[in-house]
Chain A
Amino acid sequence: SAVISQKPSRDICQRGTSLTIQCQVDSQVTMMFWYRQQPGQSLTLIATANQGSEATYESGFVIDKFPISRPNLTFSTLTVSNMSPEDSSIYLCSVEGLFDEQFFGPGTRLTVL
């Protein structure tokens, strides 16, 4: 299984600001996924990030709000832009294993005031 780290682990931000979340994997992977988990809810996919191409966003998520970078096969960033209290969530990155399972990072707990 892959070992995934995320930074920061948590943050409290003011509305209107932006936060960049980093995701680091201990092995090279083709695809990385970014999910959002709103308080008390299940996970919702934000986008899929392939190295060397533009991220693919799910319905309801746009690049201007959630720009993603994927500069190499072990690293990705997700930026939450122009934040509002509704963006308060846990943001998780994941990578795929050998049998379609996914391994998740510990998450970034974001509170927007």
Chain B
Amino acid sequence: GNSVTQMEGPVTLSEEAFLTINCTYTATGYPSLFWYVQYPGEGLQLLLKATKADDKGSNKGFEATYRKETTSFHLEKGSVQVSDSAVYFCALSNQAGTALIFGKGTTLSVSS
């Protein structure tokens, strides 16, 4: 079946540090891949997406590349800020009109 595995958190970084949150997936066919962010006390916001192999999604300084050969979609940011502190969810969609499959989420805490 389809599944998403994210690195365990929490991840604690100092401001301006480099961020990587690993995400790997299992799916049949060619899923679309997403990163969502949930700030404290808020709902989920779509951060970035990639719909086919080798696509790079980017937004707000975050990037992730759809790697079919390694079934990965790792989230990266070159210099994190305190305002990036949130929970990050990797997700996939294997078919239009069906629910997203989410990873367990990774909590990022950035200190100044």
Interface residues of A (CB under 8 A from B): 1, 30-31, 33, 35, 41-43, 45, 48, 58, 90, 92, 94, 96, 99-107
Known: A99-B32, A99-B51. A42 touches B46 (CB 8 A): no
Known: A42-B89, A101-B34, A106-B42. A31 touches B97 (CB 8 A): yes
Q: From DSSP, what is the main secondary structure of chain A's interface residues?
A: strand
* Chain B: number of interface residues, binned into ranges: 20 to 34
Contact B43 A105 (CB under 8 A): yes
Contact B89 A43 (CB under 8 A): yes
Known: A42-B105, A96-B96. A106 touches B32 (CB 8 A): no
Q: How far apart sit A105 and B42, CA to CA, in the bound complex (Å)? A: 9
Contact B43 A106 (CB under 8 A): yes
Number of A-B residue pairs having CB atoms within 8 Å of each other in the complex = 53
Known: A96-B96, A101-B93. A43 touches B42 (CB 8 A): no
Interface residues of B (CB under 8 A from A): 32, 34, 36, 42-46, 49, 51, 89, 93, 95-100, 102-105
Contact B46 A41 (CB under 8 A): no
